[in-house]
Amino acid sequence: MNHRSDTRLSLRRRITQDIMFWLFRAAALINGLALLVVVFFLMKNGWKAINWTFLTQPPIDSMTRGGILPCIVGTLCLSVGAILVALPIGVASAIYLHEYARPGRTMRIIRLGINNLAGVPSVVFGLFGLAFFVVYLDMGVSILAGSLTLGALTLPVIIGSAEEALKAVPQTYREASLGLGATKWQTISKVVLPAALPGILTGAILGLSRAAGETAPIMFTAAVFFTPSMPSSVFDEIMALPYHIYVLATAGTEIEQTRPLQYGTALVLITLVLGLNLVAIIYRARLQKRR
């Protein structure tokens, strides 16, 4: 009887495992197909708009002709600026939470705040950036205000992924380093952080993707309807690809006439995000091979 019960239990577990694996495979397949459908749709409707002029010239004739060069430059500035703001603060916060802070009520409150911050709508971050960075700190509508706002937006993602990367480093690494006479900070900086760097870069990739595609935060803090000039300082206002798509699709003077430009701009935005992610993924893979 015990042998039959064990056999039935083993069979039930195997069937449950196979069902869950197939569900996970189906979920991954659906996500992949959704991405392919979106990319195909944008390529089908937007590839005709993409040419050398489109990529290297500013918009002209009420943005019904010309290119999107200022938008590309603005998106790159905001994305890189957001990561430069969020990555050091996020990693430092994760180090404190995992390596130094003691468990207790204060820690639970901090983690609850981080989790709630990750679920706040992006338009709320835009209003916060407008009130605090643009008005209170008198930065005006600028790259700096937009980068700080996007940095605050991506901070919870980077903190969470960095903390998980630190947790994945075996405790024996720390014990061996401390046993050889290294201080706690030397152990963290020379042993733990290099081992956790691929996981930290994963969070940076996610944060970069989110920062590059956000519209609501930058429409209040950094992006403008039209400016043909390139930014010369962090206090300049700029155009950006997400906001430019929004303007062409909702507030342009010739919405139907600019439809190919809308699809072309969206295709460029997706290509830019995928390109930035690809660079980060290749760098992360090289770091993993060195370990």
Question: Tokens 């989790």 identify what position?
Answer: 115
Asked if 196 contacts 162 with a C-beta cutoff of 8 angstroms, the reply is: yes
| E strand map for 33-116 | 59-60, 65-66
Q: State whether residue 103 is helix, strand or coil.
A: coil
Question: Tokens 């590059």 identify what position?
Answer: 212
Domain-wise residue ranges, the chain: 2-48, 54-290
Q: State whether residue 59 is helix, strand or coil.
A: strand
Instruction: Provide the whole-model pTM.
Output: 0.85
Domain spanning 54-290: CATH superfamily: MetI-like (1.10.3720.10)
Token pair for 16:
């449950």
Question: Tokens 């798509």 identify what position?
Answer: 245
Q: Which pLDDT value is given to residue 103?
A: 82
- The rounded distance, in Å, linking the Cα atoms of 254 and 251 is 9
Token pair for 128:
């916060």
Mean pLDDT of residues grouped by 10 in the chain (291 residues)?
66 85 92 88 85 86 82 91 92 91 85 86 92 93 94 91 90 88 88 87 84 89 85 90 88 74 89 82 74 61
